[in-house]
Amino acid sequence: MAVGFVDCHCHITAQEFSQDIEEIIEKSQKDGLQALVCVTEFSEEFERLIHLSERFPDFLMPCLGIHPIQRDAQGLRSVTVQDLEPVLTMFDEYKDQMVAVGEIGLDFTPWLAPTQEQREEQLKVFQMQLDIAKRLDLPVNVHSRSAGKQTVAVLKEQGVRKALLHNFAGRPSVAMEGVHAGYFFSFPPAVIKNDQRSKLIKQIPLENICLETDSPALGPKKQERNVPSNICIPCDYIASVKGLRPDQVREVTTSNALRLFPKVYHKLKR
């Protein structure tokens, strides 16, 4: 039997999927996906994702986490500890369903987190969630925009062993630090539009690469909604960059995903 894809990072509870989620999931399964590793960004998504995963228990694999960038009535802003505090008890409440803690991390985009105080607060929120992951013995699904070096350094300092750095755009030297620490890196369909990313993909061993869509964002066309079925796009791109067949990339990245997320492996084996 052919090995299916694992989408290691998508946002299935995003508003963009609210009207046709059943069709999206059905098409994903038809298009060869074995599992969707689904992340949250905001506290209001936690219960929504858990309830959705209960409807599709062998396909939607929930990760709970608070993203370093939050939104309010004024727009996007840097996260604070107050954003995390209301959901702290939920990590324990849903620990059996969760396959990872995420999406968590650092985002030092200058116009979103311009001050040192904001960045230190982000770091505190990140470390609190890393502590939760370690206590629950779960991997982490990590965001690292404009903060690749700092993110890898924190993961290593905190003794994190299982981490996925999604849509990583840092320097190859920083990525290799992560490789040596045993971390994995995933790339979405939008990677096909970024020549710089090909240099990164060439250097990172296939044994440290996973596939993701980050849907509904980061699709092949900026103006169109991205969907999990687009997982074949980064697969084909990575294959072309590394001079491999797409089926080789699919098999190895799926094997990587199941090593990274042991609970996904056990759910699929049931």
Instruction: Please give, one letter per residue, the 3-state secondary structure of the chain.
Output: CCCCEEEEEECCCCHHHCCCHHHHHHHHHHCCEEEEEECCCCHHHHHHHHHHHHHCCCCEEEEECCCCEEEECCEEEECCHHHHHHHHHHHHHCCCCCCEEEEEEEECCCCCCCCHHHHHHHHHHHHHHHHHHHHHCCCEEEEEECCHHHHHHHHHHCCCCCEEEECCCCCHHHHHHHHHCCCEEEECHHHHHCHHHHHHHHHCCHHHEEECCCCCCCCCCCCCCCCHHHHHHHHHHHHHHHCCCHHHHHHHHHHHHHHHCHHHHHHHHC
Write the pLDDT tens digit of every residue in 173-229: 999 999 999 999 999 999 988 788 899 999 999 999 999 999 999 999 988 999 999
Write the pLDDT tens digit of every residue in 11-21: 999 999 999 99
Question: Which residues fall in the annotated binding site for a divalent metal cation?
Answer: 9, 11, 103, 143, 166, 214
Q: How many domains does the chain have?
A: 1
Question: Which residues fall in the annotated binding site?
Answer: 9, 11, 103, 143, 166, 214
If you average pLDDT over residues 77-106, what whole number do you get?
A: 98
Range of the domain at 184: 5-269
What mean pLDDT value characterizes the chain?
96
Is pLDDT of 167 > 50?
Answer: yes
If you average pLDDT over residues 92-117, what whole number do you get?
A: 97
If you average pLDDT over residues 126-143, what whole number do you get?
A: 98
Write the pLDDT tens digit of every residue in 79-90: 999 999 999 999
* Residue 91 backbone class (left: φ over 0; alpha: ψ -120 to 50; beta: rest): alpha
Between 115 and 194, name the one with better pLDDT: 115
pLDDT of residue 2: 61
Cα three-residue angle 157-160-161, rounded to 5 degrees = 130
Is pLDDT of 29 > 60?
Answer: yes
Is pLDDT of 3 > 90?
Answer: no
CATH number of the domain where residue 251 is located: 3.20.20.140
Claim: this prediction has a pTM higher than 0.95:
yes
Question: What percent of the chain has a predicted confidence (pLDDT) above 70?
Answer: 99
pLDDT of residue 165: 98
| Spatial distance between the Cα atoms of 240 and 233, rounded to a whole number of angstroms | 11
Q: What strand order describes the sheet that includes 33-38?
A: 5-10, 33-38, 60-64, 100-107, 140-145, 163-166, 184-187, 209-211
pLDDT of residue 1: 42
| Spatial distance between the Cα atoms of 67 and 113, rounded to a whole number of angstroms | 13
